[in-house]
Amino acid sequence: METTGKHFFSDMAVMLGRSMRHIFRSMDTIISVTITPIAMMLLFVYVLGGAIQTGTDHYVNYLLPGILLIAIASGISYTAYRLFMDMQRGIFERFHSMPIARSAPLWGHVMTSLVSNAISLVVIILVALIMGFRSSAGVLSWLAVAGILALFTLALTWIAVIAGLSAKSVDGAGAFSYALIFLPFISSAFVPTESMPSVVRAFANNQPVTSIVEAIRALLAEQPVGNDIWIALAWCIGILIIAYGFAMRVYKRRAA
């Protein structure tokens, strides 16, 4: 175990390369994850945007943070699917018989989620630029946005790991993501929460997506972020720690 522990990062890199090769051989994963958020962005900006009052000149600027979170929530379902298929095919048992770090295959899937989602987000941002998105943010603000999105991706990915390890069927492995995709709709991602009924507004203001969206929106507009960024980080890190703990417990039980 000591030898495999020393080579954990090299083992993880090999597993990352394996998973990424699967994705690049079948680009439909990234394409499908990217197309739906882009279609939603086109719909809301060019069809519904004129009827939505957000106090901004360009609705795409207001909308983009929520679209990015939806893309991540959609993308991590494929992590659960790939992990479930590897478990069903007995691939993890083969890896465990080799002199590699025991958790390296799992981390390979997690890092693949981070990389593939990053590719999807870059494509969506490029389309948003074509649609008129503009940002006055500097390099540090963009790095902060990237950091928040990476933390959010990791937090949701570890939830996907739990689903992939625990699911009894292929459909069950990805079904959890529907609730996560729906969550941005009950937040400030598309409309200000002030326009919502009191009960819905209370939920929207106190769920993680709203603080994350508000923090990203303020960073991209070079506006004061206030407490939103700290609340967003607290949500992301909290979810990440809890999901990681549960995922590793399930993984150890399955690998025993």
pLDDT digits (tens, 9 = 90+) for 99-152: 677 777 888 889 988 998 999 999 999 999 999 899 888 999 999 999 999 999
Q: State the number of CA atoms in the 13 A half-sphere of 242 facing the CB.
A: 7
Average pLDDT over residues 204-216: 94
Task: Provide the 10 A C-beta neighbour count for residue 194.
Answer: 9
pLDDT, position 216:
95
Residue 48 pLDDT exceeds 90: no
pLDDT, position 2:
39
pTM: 0.88
250 vs 14, higher pLDDT: 250
3-state secondary structure of 138: coil
pLDDT, position 229:
92
pLDDT, position 136:
86
Q: What is the mean pLDDT of the chain?
A: 85
Question: What sign does the CA torsion over 168, 170, 171, 174 have?
Answer: positive
The backbone region for 138, taken as left when phi is positive above 0, alpha when psi lies in -120 to 50, beta otherwise, is beta
Residue 248 pLDDT exceeds 80: yes
Task: Provide the 10 A C-beta neighbour count for residue 173.
Answer: 26
Question: What sign does the CA torsion over 185, 75, 86, 102 have?
Answer: negative
Residue 172 pLDDT class (50, 70, 90 cuts): confident
pLDDT, position 1:
39
Question: What sign does the CA torsion over 51, 52, 55, 56 have?
Answer: negative
Q: Residue 160 to residues 30, 76, 123, 228: CA-CA distances in angstroms?
A: 17, 6, 23, 26
Q: State the number of CA atoms in the 13 A half-sphere of 98 facing the CB.
A: 14
pLDDT, position 236:
95
Q: Residue 181 to residues 36, 69, 175, 220: CA-CA distances in angstroms?
A: 11, 8, 11, 22
Average pLDDT over residues 226-254: 91
pLDDT, position 165:
87
pLDDT, position 210:
94
